[in-house]
Amino acid sequence: MNRRVVTVFGGSGFIGRQVVRRFAKAGWIVRAAMRDPIDGAFLKTMGEPGQVTPIRVDISDKSAVRAAVDGVDCVVNMVGILFEKGKRSFDAIHRQGAETIAQAARDAGAASLVHMSALGADKTSASAYARSKAQGEEAVLAAFPTATITRPSVVFGADDDFFNRFAQLARVSPILPVFTADGFKPTHSENGFALDLFGSGGPTFQPVYVGDVADAIFRAATDPAAAGKIYELGGPRRYTMKEIMEKVRQDTGLCRLLLPLPFAFAKIQAAFLQFLPTPPLTPDQVLLMRVDNVVRGGKPGLAELGVTPTACEAIVPSYLGRFAPTS
């Protein structure tokens, strides 16, 4: 009996490696496509000898993409960027690259294609990131109408770039920022006037566990009922930015001041930080934060894929503890 074959683009990434693990465990032959297969050599240990093969693929190279999906049963596209740098623009990666992969999957006769987008994908968004994600979805479905689209919220896990980033900031800074659009407003009560510094607590997130996202993608790839559907993937509860920072404080044991800041200040910060090699904040990300990153409803989610969402409280303390003070 021939074993099924899958190509996972972005297979060495934070989420991609978990997806590779799911397919390998289920007995699939896995081609893990990435820009640097040497960095992805660790993926080989996720299966039997020869079961998982890291391969070099630049998704802007159509011939390389076609070769990567030749003869496969399934294609998964996990490639995405959070900031633009040189030729790696949002349009080049999220729209053009996604279209190239979808067209190649169609021409190769793949039975299924799963494309990872993001919550907030919107052609009318002020954010170029969100617009490019929506345009990528359109391009994928135009080329491969039965493709499954997954839209995760911010993803957490031991190697994430969300809780870890704030914890790293807490390690070196006495303050943690909370960007707010409705803070610094006077309020009146029976005790007199006061100043509401944080307002509603800043933008809202619905963090989803990386293992749950990987499970959802694997099930979407292998369940014919998922074909052509868009899934919104969010965790079991929503958190304001203020609540996220409070959680970082609690789980790291670092006593830091929460400082409310208007979005205008975030915009000024981002104008300078965007020029760092790996910018912690860009002007486009500030625009993105002005819209809550939560499941809107009306579309299927983790439950419809048979996945029970994992709470942050069950996972995050286990890895933020390494930031705790040593004395």
Report the relative pairing of strands 112-116 and 148-152 from DSSP bridges: parallel
Q: Which amino acid is at 314?
A: A
What is the model's pLDDT at position 189?
A: 65
Is there a contact between 129 and 119 (Cβ–Cβ < 8 Å)? no
pLDDT in tens, 90-140: 999 999 999 999 999 999 999 999 999 999 999 999 999 999 999 999 999
Distances (CA, A) of 126 to 122, 130, 285, 288, 307: 9, 8, 10, 8, 32
- Angle, helices 128-143 vs 98-108, to 10°: value is 10
- In order of their start, the domains of the chain are 5-146 (3.40.50.720), 163-203+239-289 (no CATH)
What is the model's pLDDT at position 182?
A: 87
What is the model's pLDDT at position 297?
A: 83
Q: DSSP secondary structure string, 193-227? A: EEEESSTT-SSEE--EEHHHHHHHHHHHHH-GGGT
Burial 227-236 (b: 16+ CB within 10 A, else e): bebbbbbbbb
| Angle at CA of residue 173, ends 172 and 178, nearest 5° | 135
Is there a contact between 31 and 7 (Cβ–Cβ < 8 Å)? yes
> pTM of the full predicted structure?
0.94
Distances (CA, A) of 48 to 29, 34, 43, 53, 151: 10, 20, 11, 11, 31
User: What does the alpha-carbon distance between residue 240 and residue 183 come to, in Å, rounded to a whole number?
Assistant: 13
User: What does the alpha-carbon distance between residue 163 and residue 242 come to, in Å, rounded to a whole number?
Assistant: 13
Residues of the chain with pLDDT under 70: 1, 188-194, 327
Tell me the sheet residues that pair with 208. 155
What is the model's pLDDT at position 286?
A: 93
